[in-house]
């Protein structure tokens, strides 16, 4: 369903009226397209504190030029900030330039992991999180602000390329930790998934379809999995993407074994996207509504992940990306079942990520969508739908492609140092952490 309010505020009368009434003024977001693959404008590189990062080669490969007076992106290296005095340098660096960042521009703050042995450094680095989230809520005009904690610039290249591109249009206010593990550079950054096989569950429509399309765009051979009732739609998507369809109930006890049998050459990328809702307040929720949501959204993810890791179907260097939700982070009335399941996904990621990497060479991350414009949200009552759209820093709903682009970044071969992360795709929703 079209966002008529967003369209209205893009007109001169709309801008005048919403400004006079103090209403949200969302800006049309600049998303990736083949014709416009990079942000238009320069990159301004600033530093607060003394940094040891060698950022210049990585930033040079983002496709952004030198600062042109109105930067499309600003990168502030604050990894050397170790005390309150260093935080003053953060203010001094960004205060003069924030207003000049172009519409739909990017601000990326780089921080260091807080040091347990140095409480001054830990306090200063944690302060960057509050600073980043606050700046994201006030910067406006479709601009985003994110914090990346890292120790090695080259390990963070895929993350910086993503956050400094139109692909991250609906990701803001996030804190992403990048490990020091060596990153695998792809042969072709434009098609980094060439030669890799990706399985996407619930891919016949909606967000799953968008994820399948984006992974195929990036070179992957995609297996479109959905329930037998959606087989016709799954085949349609698979044929369009030169992939294959797999009709399978993901809640079946032997789903993992059947997936492994269908992929004798193994699997590189596993995307857990399938999900359902059966909303009702707990006092009115029968057991079957509870169990159906928990089985599809959580239990099936646990079972199939365990089976595919145990069988060796997921190859070393593989990627698992599961779909959580801000409902699992902040809760939502009428969704105790859904919120429980999606919070369970967060627990899965945090527990499994280090072990899966050590034992199988596979990373485990999750995306947590907020209000995304789908057929499901189009059926939500008008006032609730409008609240969902406006209650974020970008004052609008996201699109399925926003979740897909974030998933593709986590599936990237160079994203190996990104592990155990839960990244919200919510326009910095006012709900949740």
Catalytic residues: 338
Q: Measured between alpha carbons, how far is 137 from 133 in angstroms, rounded to an integer? A: 7
8 A C-beta contact, residue 169 and residue 104 = yes
Residue 113 Cα distances to 53, 116, 158, 359, angstroms: 14, 9, 19, 25
Q: Measured between alpha carbons, how far is 165 from 259 in angstroms, rounded to an integer? A: 34
Residue 59: partners with Cβ closer than 8 Å, 6 or more residues away: 43, 45, 75, 160
8 A C-beta contact, residue 425 and residue 402 = yes
Closest C-alpha to 201, from 125, 56, 308, 100: 308
- Rounded to 5 degrees, φ, ψ at 230 are -105, 20
Residue 238 Cα distances to 108, 192, 194, 314, 405, angstroms: 36, 20, 17, 21, 19
Helix axes of 119-138 and 84-94: crossing angle, nearest 10 degrees: 30
* 3-state SS assignment for residue 17: helix
What are the residues facing 269 on neighbouring strands? 198, 319
How many CB atoms are closer than 10 A to CB 311? 16
What are the residues facing 372 on neighbouring strands? 398
CA atoms within 13 A on the CB side of 306: 10
Residue found by looking up tokens 């072990």 in the block = 355
């Amino acid at each position: 369903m079209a966002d008529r309010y967003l369209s209205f505020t893009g007109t001169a009368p709309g801008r005048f009226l919403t400004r006079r009434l103090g209403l949200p003024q969302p800006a049309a977001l600049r998303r990736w397209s083949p014709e416009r693959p990079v942000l238009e404008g320069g990159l301004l590189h600033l530093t607060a504190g003394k940094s040891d990062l060698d950022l210049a080669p990585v930033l040079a490969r983002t496709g952004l030029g030198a600062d042109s007076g109105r930067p499309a992106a600003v990168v502030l290296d604050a990894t050397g900030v170790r005390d309150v005095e260093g935080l003053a340098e953060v203010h001094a660096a960004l205060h003069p330039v924030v207003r000049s960042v172009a519409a739909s521009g990017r601000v990326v703050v780089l921080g260091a992991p807080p040091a347990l042995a140095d409480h001054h450094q830990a306090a200063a680095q944690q302060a960057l999180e509050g600073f980043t989230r606050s700046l994201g809520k006030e910067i406006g005009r479709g601009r985003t602000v994110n914090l990346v904690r890292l120790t090695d610039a080259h390990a963070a290249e895929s993350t910086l390329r993503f956050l400094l591109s139109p692909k991250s249009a609906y990701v803001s206010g996030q804190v992403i930790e990048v490990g020091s593990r060596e990153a695998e550079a792809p042969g072709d950054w434009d098609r980094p998934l060439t030669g890799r096989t990706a399985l996407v569950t619930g891919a016949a429509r909606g967000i799953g379809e968008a994820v399948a399309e984006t992974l195929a765009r990036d070179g992957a051979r995609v297996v479109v999995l959905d329930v037998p009732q959606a087989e016709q739609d799954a085949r349609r998507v698979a044929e369009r993407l030169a992939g294959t369809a797999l009709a399978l109930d993901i809640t079946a006890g032997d789903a993992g074994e059947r997936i492994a049998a269908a992929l004798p050459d193994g699997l590189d990328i596993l995307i857990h996207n399938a999900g359902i809702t059966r909303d009702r307040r707990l006092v009115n929720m029968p057991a079957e509504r509870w169990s159906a949501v928990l089985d599809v959204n959580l239990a099936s993810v646990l079972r199939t992940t365990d089976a595919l890791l145990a069988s060796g179907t997921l190859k070393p260097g593989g990627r698992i990306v599961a779909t959580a939700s801000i409902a699992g982070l902040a809760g939502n009335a009428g969704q105790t079942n859904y919120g429980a399941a999606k919070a369970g996904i967060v627990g899965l990621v945090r527990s499994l990520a280090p072990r899966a990497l050590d034992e199988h060479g596979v990373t485990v991350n999750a995306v947590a969508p907020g209000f995304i414009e789908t057929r499901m949200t189009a059926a939500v009552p008008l006032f609730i739908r409008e609240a969902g759209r406006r209650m974020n820093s970008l004052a609008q709903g996201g699109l399925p492609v926003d979740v897909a682009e974030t998933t593709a970044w986590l599936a990237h071969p160079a994203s190996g140092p990104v592990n155990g992360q839960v990244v919200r795709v919510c326009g910095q929703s006012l709900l949740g952490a």
